[in-house]
Amino acid sequence: MGDISLVSLVFILPLLGVLALIFEPLFERQTNEQAIRWLTLGVSLGTFGLSLLMLNNFDTGVAGLQMEHKIDWIEADGFTIRYYVGVDGISVWMVMLTTFIMPLAILASFGPIQERVRLYYIFLLLMEWAMIGVFIAQDLFLFYVFWEVTLVPMYFLIGIWGAEERIYAAIKFFLYTMAGSLLMLLAVLWLGNEAGTFTLPEIIEQIQTGELSLGTTTERWLFLAFAIAFAIKVPMWPLHSWLPDAHVQAPTAGSVILAGILLKMGTYGFVRFNLPLFPEASKTFAPYIAGLAVIGIIYGAWVSYGQKDVKKLVAYSSISHLGFVMLGIFALNSTGIQGGILQGVNHGISTGGLFLMVGMLYDRRHTKLMAAFGGIWKAMPLFSGISLVIVLSSMGLPGLNGFVGEFTILLGSAGSEILSWWFTAFAALGIIMAAIYMLYMFNTVFMGELDKEENRNLPDLNWQELWSLIPIVVMVFVIGLQASIFFDLMDESAEALAAPYVANPNAEALVELNTGDVELAVALWAISGAVIGVVVTPIIYSGRGRNPWSGGLVGAAAGAAGNLLLLVPLWVYTPALEVDEHALPATSEAPGD
C-alpha cells in the first residue's frame, strides 16, 4: 500500500488530463482549439514518458506482479473488492502499446477533427485511461469495470465523428461487445462466489494449490463464458462481423485505437484469465479455439483480397493477424504465448500505421475506394515510402516486426503439445495470402500510372502526419531487429503461465485419444447438418422467388454451422465422453466433478 506505484501514476495521468480538459474553459475566456490539442498531446506524451520510466525499472527476473498498488475499494459482507493494480511480463507490453499509440492517434487527428474538438479529446483521453485500466487491473471487478467503460467513449467516437453509417456501426459495436461482457459478468460473479474473493492472484493461487477445484462442467461453463466475451472482442472468426462496420465508419484516430489496442484486450483477456484460471478446460478447448483461429487467418486474408474499400481491406486483415495471435496463445507453450503477445504489439503498430495511412488518403481524396487511386507513389513519394515500410511490416517481411511475431507463433504452434502440425501448415498459408492482399492493395493504390487528374497534385505529408508515422517506422525496425529486448521481459511470466500445460507428460495421450474419435463424430455431425441445409434452403429460396440454387451453398454453410453450435452444450455436459479422467492421474483430488 505504501508509496504510489508507477503503474498507478501511468493510470491516473490520463484521468487528470480529462479533468483538465473539462475544467479548462473556466480559466480561459474563449476556447482556443489549439490549446486543447496541445494539452491533450502533452498529457498523452507525459503518460508515455511515465510508462517508459515504469519499463526501465521492470525487473525481468520476476515472474509475478510488480509495482503493485492495493487499496480496499468495497467491503461488502464476506468479500472485499480492491483497487489492485500491478504489471507483469504479460501486461507490460500492452500498457506500453497503449501509451505509444495514443500520442500518434492524437497527433494524427490534429488535422481532420475540426468540430466539437474538446469533446473529442476528452473521449480520447478517457479511452486511454480505461484501456490502461484494463491492462493493469488485477481484480475481477476492476477489470470488468474498465472493460465496459472502454465501450462508452468509443461509442461516441464512432457515433459523432464517424463516416456515413456511423450510428448503425456505433450501436452494433456497443451491443455486440456488451452482450459478450454481460456473460462475463455472470462468470465473474460465479467465480467470485466460489473463490470467496475477487482478487485474481489469490484465485489463481487457490486453483494452483488445488484449494479451489471447480468441477469439470462448471470449469467448462466458466471458460466458455469468458472465452465468448473475449472472442467477440478479438474478434474470432464467427463473431467478427461488427469489426468491418466499426472500423470503416470510425474516424481515423478511432480506428487506429480500435485496431491498435481494443482488439488486444480480447487476446490479453484469454492470456490473463482463461489460461491460468481454467487449466483443464483450456487444454480441452485449445484445439477447437486454435482451429477457429486458423480459419480466421485464412478467412480474413481471403476476404480482404476481395474488398474494394481499402479501409475494409485493412479491417479484415486485422482478423487474419489476430488469428495468428490466438493460434500463438492456444499453442499453450511459452514460445507461442510470447509470440502471440509480441504479435499483438506488432499488429497494433503496423495496423495502426495502415489506418493512419488510409486516413491520410481519405483526408486528401475523401474516398476509400481503391479504384480511385493509382500512381500515388509518384504524386506523394515520402508518404509512399513510409507506407511501403508499413505494408511490408504488416505482410511479415523478415527483418521487420511482423515477421518476428509470426515466426515465434509458428514456432510455438509447431512445438505445441496440444496442436497437431496441420495447424502450423495452414497458418503458414496465411503468410502467402497476406502477401497477396497487401501487395494487391499496394499495387492498385501506389503503383501503376498516375492517370487520374485528381491524384496528380496531391500534397505530400504535413508535419503532424509525418511525425505520427515516424515513431511507427522506428518501432517496426527496432522490434524487427532486436526482438530479444521484448522477449526477455515477457519470458519469466510466460514460462510460469505455460508451466501447467507443458509439465503434464501424458498430455499427448490425453489429447490423442480424445481428439481422434471426437473429431470424426463432429465431422459427421457437421456434414449431416450441411446436407439438410442444402436440401432445405432451395425450397425456402424458391419459395421467395429467388433462384433456388444460389441458396444451396448458403444453406449448407448454415446447416453445418447450426449443428456445430448445437454441439457445444452437448459435450460440455458429458464428461463421460472425455477419456481424460481415466488416462490422467488424478491431479485434482476429486476425479471428474
- Of 546 and 582, which has the nearer Cβ to other proteins? 546
Residue whose cell numbers read 490425453:
510
DSSP state of 294: H
DSSP 503-571: H-TTHHHHHHHHHHHHHHHHHHHHHHHHHHHHHHHHHHHHHTTS-HHHHHHHHHHHHHHHHHHHHHHHH
Residue whose cell numbers read 524487427:
480
- Of 55 and 414, which has the nearer Cβ to other proteins? 414
- The distance of closest approach from Cβ of residue 45 to other proteins in the complex, given in angstroms and rounded to an integer, is 26
Question: Pairing relation of β-strands 80-87 and 66-75?
Answer: antiparallel
DSSP 69-97: EEEEEEE-SS-EEEEEEEE-HHHHHHHHH
Q: What DSSP element (H or E) covers 411?
A: helix 401-414
- Of 429 and 524, which has the nearer Cβ to other proteins? 429
- Of 20 and 145, which has the nearer Cβ to other proteins? 145
Q: What DSSP element (H or E) covers 138?
A: none
- Of 116 and 524, which has the nearer Cβ to other proteins? 116
Distance CA 24, CA 117 (A): 13
Query: Which of 426, 476, 367 lies closest to 104, judged by CA?
Result: 476
- Of 38 and 422, which has the nearer Cβ to other proteins? 422
- Of 64 and 399, which has the nearer Cβ to other proteins? 399
- Of 101 and 253, which has the nearer Cβ to other proteins? 253
Distance CA 48, CA 14 (A): 10
Query: Which of 264, 302, 288, 350 lies closest to 91, judged by CA?
Result: 264
Phi, psi angle pair for 251, to nearest 5°: -65, 170
- The distance of closest approach from Cβ of residue 292 to other proteins in the complex, given in angstroms and rounded to an integer, is 14
- Of 266 and 412, which has the nearer Cβ to other proteins? 412
| Type of residue at 431 | I
Beta bridge partners of 74: 81
Measured CA to CA in angstroms, residue 378 lies from 361, 447, 452 at distances of 14, 8, 12
- Of 357 and 438, which has the nearer Cβ to other proteins? 438
- Of 48 and 198, which has the nearer Cβ to other proteins? 198
Contact between 347 and 321 under an 8 Å Cβ cutoff? The reply is yes
Phi, psi angle pair for 68, to nearest 5°: -75, 160
Phi, psi angle pair for 200, to nearest 5°: -60, -55
- Of 6 and 319, which has the nearer Cβ to other proteins? 319
- Of 465 and 492, which has the nearer Cβ to other proteins? 492
- The distance of closest approach from Cβ of residue 115 to other proteins in the complex, given in angstroms and rounded to an integer, is 10
Contact between 47 and 10 under an 8 Å Cβ cutoff? The reply is yes
Our CA dihedral for 290, 292, 295, 299, rounded to 10 degrees, sits at -130
- The distance of closest approach from Cβ of residue 383 to other proteins in the complex, given in angstroms and rounded to an integer, is 15
Distance CA 94, CA 76 (A): 32
| Type of residue at 403 | F
- The distance of closest approach from Cβ of residue 478 to other proteins in the complex, given in angstroms and rounded to an integer, is 11
Our CA dihedral for 41, 47, 49, 55, rounded to 10 degrees, sits at -150
DSSP 177-237: HHHHHHHHHHHHHHHHHHHS--BHHHHHHHHHTTSS---HHHHHHHHHHHHHHHHHHTT-G
- Of 414 and 527, which has the nearer Cβ to other proteins? 414
DSSP state of 5: P
DSSP 107-129: HHTTTT--SSHHHHHHHHHHHHH
Instruction: Name 175's Cβ contacts closer than 8 Å, sequence gap at least 6.
Output: none
Q: What 3-state class would DSSP assign to 369?
A: strand
- Of 48 and 501, which has the nearer Cβ to other proteins? 501
- The distance of closest approach from Cβ of residue 386 to other proteins in the complex, given in angstroms and rounded to an integer, is 12
Classify the C-alpha dihedral 254-257-260-262 as positive or negative: negative
- The distance of closest approach from Cβ of residue 382 to other proteins in the complex, given in angstroms and rounded to an integer, is 11
DSSP state of 577: G
Distance CA 427, CA 297 (A): 7
- The distance of closest approach from Cβ of residue 96 to other proteins in the complex, given in angstroms and rounded to an integer, is 19
Contact between 253 and 113 under an 8 Å Cβ cutoff? The reply is yes
